[in-house]
Each structure stands twice: as structure tokens, then as C-alpha cells.
Amino acid sequence: NAGVTQTPKFRILKIGQSMTLQCTQDMNHNYMYWYRQDPGMGLKLIYYSVGAGITDKGEVPNGYNVSRSTTEDFPLRLELAAPSQTSVYFCASSPGLAGGHTSTDTQYFGPGTRLTVL
Amino acid sequence: DAKTTQPNSMESNEEEPVHLPCNHSTISGTDYIHWYRQLPSQGPEYVIHGLTSNVNNRMASLAIAEDRKSSTLILHRATLRDAAVYYCILRASGTYKYIFGTGTRLKVLA
């Protein structure tokens, strides 16, 4: 079991460029999440998905897009990169619980992608 | 979203117990208390969670105050590998998201 994998590990972008951060999980989890973590801060939720074809915004969605065509993959797209998007990006997944009882659902995080926009 | 308050940093000697406090005075009756930790240069990892009763697992114990307005994560014997940022998070029933604060940075001294 690889768990949650993210590529690339590091990336430097120029202002205005675009890129896709890849996230894959092999645990057959229904729920997937994208967070960003700025230096010295906690994680902020960008987008999440409760299943293939279903996505929703988190706290800080502006400047990002997501799609979920399969259970395993949840790519995050940055359009027109800006210096404010310099951050470490974490993808996570969780199984979700029957009956929508998500209070005890545990999230499993990937190793992160460190992105710098210059 | 209910908020939590944690000290910015704490220190502990190796092989001694560590008590990491968390205040959550606005907690509601259906909020679960979750703890995650983030080792250097890694993603967060789950530690423990609870609702009302104290909880134990192989990593730690969680002590929850009777009024649920505070909780304490207990590491029984700190090791150097426990040096991390520890996040206390409230998870409301029916919600999918975690709201992370800035956490407590634990330093373990050899």
C-alpha cells in the first residue's frame, strides 16, 4: 500500500504559468482533500471531493481548480500562478463513514509538493 | 467553526511524559476532538480522537475535561521522534473538513 502519493515533490513556476499537482491514493477512499500550508501556519483547505464527479470549495479556493474523474485521482490545477500561491500543498484522503457520520473519519496525508512562484 | 487555542511551543525531556493542552470553550455537543501531528517536512498524521470519554491508543492518551471545554494530549514517554507540531482540531458532525490552527511545536531534549 503506497497510501497517498503526490507529484512533483518540488516545482518552481514563473508568474502566469500553469501547472497541475497530481494526487493518487490506493486505499479506495471516497473522500479526498487539497490543503495548502504557508510557512509557520496551519493547513488551509482548498477543495475537497466526496466521490468521483463531486467536488466542493474549501476555505481558500480562488486561483485553483480540481476534478475527480476516478476514485483514485484528485488533481489540483493552478491557472495563472501568482507569488501568493507559493506554499506547500498537501493532498489527503479518508474513507468516509456510513450514514454520513464523518466526525470520526481519519485523514491520511501525502508527503506534499513544495511550490515556489517567482 | 469552533476554534481551539494551543500554546505555541513546549519543551520536554526525553523519556518523560508530555501533556499538551488545548482549549475549546465554544465546542458544541456533537464536535469530536481530533489530534494530528506533523513531523518536520512531512504531512500531518493522525494521533487520536475522542468525544467525551478519555481515550488511549498505542501512540497517546487523550484526556477530555468533564465540561469538554478543554482537552490534553498525553505522550507517556517522549522520544526524539515525537518532536513535531501537534494540532488540536474540532470536527463537527456531518462536516468533512478539518480547520487547522497553528498548533503546538514540541521540542524534545535529549
SS (H, E, C) A55-117: EEECCCCCCEEECCCCCCECCEEECCCCHHHCEEEEEEEECCCHHHCCCCCCCEECCCEEEEE
Alpha-carbon distance B44 to nearest alpha carbon in chain A (angstroms): 6
pLDDT of residue A97: 65
Q: Is the pLDDT of residue A100 over 60?
A: no
| Three cell numbers, residue B92 | 463537527
**Spatial distance between the Cα atoms of B25 and B21, rounded to a whole number of angstroms:** 13
What average pLDDT does the segment A85-90 reach? 97
How many angstroms separate the CA of residue A93 from the nearest CA in chain B? 11
Report phi then psi at A78, rounded to 5. Answer: -105, 120
pLDDT digits (tens, 9 = 90+) for A18-34: 999 999 999 999 899 99
Q: A100: which 3 cell numbers?
A: 454520513
pLDDT, one tens digit per residue, over B28-65 is 888 889 999 999 989 999 999 998 989 998 889 999 99
- Tell me how crowded residue B83 is: count the other CB atoms within 10 A of its CB: 18
- Point out which residues pair with B83 in neighbouring strands: none
pLDDT at B37: 96
Nearest to B46 among A44, A58, A107 (CB): A107
Inter-CA distances, A114 with A82, A86, A87, Å: 14, 8, 6
Q: Which of A31, A104, A109 sits opposite B44 (nearest CB)?
A: A109
